[in-house]
Amino acid sequence: MVKEFLSRARQAFTERNIEDDPAAYDELLSMGFKVVPVTIIDGHAIKGYDERALRQALAAGAEP
């Protein structure tokens, strides 16, 4: 759902699969997360699919 949301919002993103990328899993753990998805926007981590938080983070990143 997060990928669909970002695509609809025309936001570029990089997907990292923790099953295929051990470094991605280690990074997730180092940030204190044990669940996916985690979306990082301008250094702000959003756990799960939280459309309101995603919209707020994208809007904040667009501010000058």
pLDDT digits (tens, 9 = 90+) for 38-63: 999 998 999 999 999 999 999 997 65
pLDDT score, position 62: 62
pLDDT score, position 7: 96
- The domain in which residue 54 lies consists of 2-62
Measured between its terminal Cα atoms, the distance across the chain in Å is 28
Quote the pTM value.
0.81
What CATH number should be reported for the domain holding residue 37?
3.40.30.10
pLDDT score, position 61: 75
- Structural domains counted in the chain: 1
Interacting residues of 53 by C-beta distance below 8 A, sequence separation 6+: 46
pLDDT score, position 63: 58
